[in-house]
Chain A
Amino acid sequence: MLLPQDRGFSHAIASEITPQNVFQTRRALLASLAVSGAFGARRAFAQTTAARPLPATRSTVPGALTMEKPTPLADVTGYNNYYEFGTDKSDPARHAQALKTRPWTVSIEGEVKKPATFGIDDLLKLAPMEERIYRLRCVEGWSMVIPWVGYSLSELIKRVEPTGNAKFVQFVTLADRAQMTGLSSSVLDWPYVEGLRIDEAMQPLTLLAFGLYGQVLPNQNGAPLRLVVPWKYGFKSGKSLVKIRFVEQQPATSWSRAAPEEYGFYSNVNPSVDHPRWSQATERRLGDGDLFAKKRPTLMFNGYEAQVGSLYAGMDLKKWF
């Protein structure tokens, strides 16, 4: 397969490339967006204490900083799929405030030389925080651009030293009936589990995120820590992680267990492989705000083909959807 050269970014539309002078003031822009967005999201944040800043430096990982316009904070925090808090997009912002994110531990198990249980404060200090601006493409056909804060999952993986048998990584998320109102519904088997191949997990773009828009993650976005795999559909990125397990066999994942015909293990963003019930060729970018905005073409691997295409060289992506 002929892969485009990795120049750190890829753009479909030239007019979307940010002029340099704007790019150089992007932090001020982000801060002002965060402030204006925060007012818009007053309701979403109403029951949280004041947003806590999470400082970060600009990431140098190739592809980690798209120059597309970030989706307003109000939309990022007010339009969520987090079924543990309800299936409506506005449910998580309303119900996730009940989630206690401290104390919090993440246990690392399975095929590793150094299994461990990390407290959230250890994880926050484990590696330097980076600002990364990723596209997020939901399998439902909408997308956002989100400035995350976190570090590569590979940083954590290196500390626990996977054995030669660690071929896959399974991510287990919190399922606590006392805190999560949506668990009484039978939409999925709880807890929500997801998985990656070990090389996908080690790809530097695979992010362990602790914040967004320069602040600690709001609960509805998966606090206190979540995965972000920008070239896969959003549901691959588990929220509120409690366990990371290294395994030899491909692990079960929640959506492929619920509907194996519709959701595969890989679930890479791919405009040429349709969902059985709808096309994946285009997407609606949220935050354009405009009812009349045209849908945009979906990019192969969500625009990260230069960085991740080689992981799938020789694979039939129609079969391994």
Chain B
Amino acid sequence: MRKLLLHPLAKPLLFAVALLPCATLLAAVLQHTLGPNPAETLIRSLGDWTLRFLCLTLAITPLRQWTNVAALARFRRMLGLFTAFYALLHFSSYAVFDMGLVWDDIVRDVAKRPFILVGTTALLLMLPLAATSFNRAVRWLGPARWQRLHRLVYAIALLAILHFFWMRAGKRNFGEVAVYGAIIAVLLGWRLYKATRGTRYFMKLGSQSAKG
């Protein structure tokens, strides 16, 4: 398993697989097979894929810790960048196909509709993370500051699920929202659990040394 993950072709393969949804949608656009409301289908599919890649990105660290397979970390950056890629496509297709790229209307729509405001905020928060994803950015910022910045992804995840929840609220159709919500809850909950347990551990150490 570790050998497979460390294989030189593992990353290019993941890259190709991650492009498949985009390629499939592009083919459907060209062949006019997106159904009666092609704009709606395209925008929603891209939103679904953003959410899926976000879950995959957030799953890397817990999986690494549960399985002790350090090699998984190699793929975290690429998955994060694909999340931002699909989020950008999602927003762009909304801006072009739903709003006709009329910026006045887009600004008014973002302000008027809470669920769009929340989604747009999540996208804007992703941009600094995508922009500081390369190795040299880590050096520039210093690992501690870089990590603090990239904890924004937790806020992004919560905004993304709220965006999805509000979008579905019109029809009270919460089945899929519950699935993604549960996945994100487990992935963030695990981190919270680790963090609080860690604090208690250090507090115990501190009190022991004070006694000593």
Q: How far is the CB of A76 from chain B (nearest CB, A)?
A: 9
Partner of B36, one of A78, A187, A278, A279: A78
Q: Are A286 and B97 in contact (CB under 8 A)?
A: no
Decide if B207 is an interface residue (CB 8 Å cutoff): no
Decide if B100 is an interface residue (CB 8 Å cutoff): yes
Report if A292-B172 is in contact (Cβ < 8 Å); known contacts: A79-B36, A279-B109, A286-B37. Answer: no
Partner of A291, one of B29, B113, B173: B29
In the bound complex, what is the Cα–Cα distance between A277 and B113 (angstroms)? 6
In the bound complex, what is the Cα–Cα distance between A289 and B28 (angstroms)? 12
In the bound complex, what is the Cα–Cα distance between A74 and B33 (angstroms)? 12
Q: How far is the CB of A4 from chain B (nearest CB, A)?
A: 28
Partner of B42, one of A79, A289, A291, A294: A291
Which of chain A's residues 253-296 have a Cβ closer than 8 Å to chain B?
Answer: 277-279, 284, 286-287, 289-292, 294-295
In the bound complex, what is the Cα–Cα distance between A89 and B35 (angstroms)? 11
In the bound complex, what is the Cα–Cα distance between A78 and B34 (angstroms)? 13
Report if A284-B39 is in contact (Cβ < 8 Å); known contacts: A87-B171, A277-B113, A279-B109. Answer: yes
Report if A291-B97 is in contact (Cβ < 8 Å); known contacts: A187-B172, A277-B113, A277-B170. Answer: yes
Q: Are B32 and A289 in contact (CB under 8 A)?
A: yes
In the bound complex, what is the Cα–Cα distance between A269 and B161 (angstroms)? 32
In the bound complex, what is the Cα–Cα distance between A79 and B38 (angstroms)? 12
In the bound complex, what is the Cα–Cα distance between A223 and B7 (angstroms)? 59
Q: Are A292 and B97 in contact (CB under 8 A)?
A: yes
Chain A at the B interface: SS class: loop
For A277, list chain B residues within 8 Å (CB): 112-113, 115, 170
Q: How far is the CB of A36 from chain B (nearest CB, A)?
A: 14
Which of chain A's residues 117-174 have a Cβ closer than 8 Å to chain B?
Answer: 142
For A292, list chain B residues within 8 Å (CB): 97
The residue on B at minimum CB distance from A88 is: B173
In the bound complex, what is the Cα–Cα distance between A136 and B38 (angstroms)? 18
Q: How far is the CB of A273 from chain B (nearest CB, A)?
A: 14
Decide if A75 is an interface residue (CB 8 Å cutoff): yes
Q: How far is the CB of A278 from chain B (nearest CB, A)?
A: 6
Q: How far is the CB of A220 from chain B (nearest CB, A)?
A: 13
Decide if A186 is an interface residue (CB 8 Å cutoff): yes
Which of chain A's residues 60-78 have a Cβ closer than 8 Å to chain B?
Answer: 74-75, 78
For B173, list chain A residues within 8 Å (CB): 87, 185, 187
For A290, list chain B residues within 8 Å (CB): 38
- Of the candidates B32, B35, B36, B115, the one having the most CB atoms from chain A within 10 angstroms of its own CB is B36
For B34, list chain A residues within 8 Å (CB): 291
Q: How far is the CB of A89 from chain B (nearest CB, A)?
A: 8
For B32, list chain A residues within 8 Å (CB): 289
Q: How far is the CB of A130 from chain B (nearest CB, A)?
A: 26
Partner of B172, one of A186, A279, A284, A289: A186
For B29, list chain A residues within 8 Å (CB): 291
12 CB < 8 A contacts A-B: A74-B36, A78-B35, A142-B37, A142-B40, A277-B115, A277-B170, A279-B109, A284-B37, A286-B37, A291-B29, A294-B100, A295-B100
Residues of B participating in the A interface, judged by any CB pair closer than 8 Å: 29, 32, 34-40, 42, 97, 100, 109, 112-113, 115, 170-173
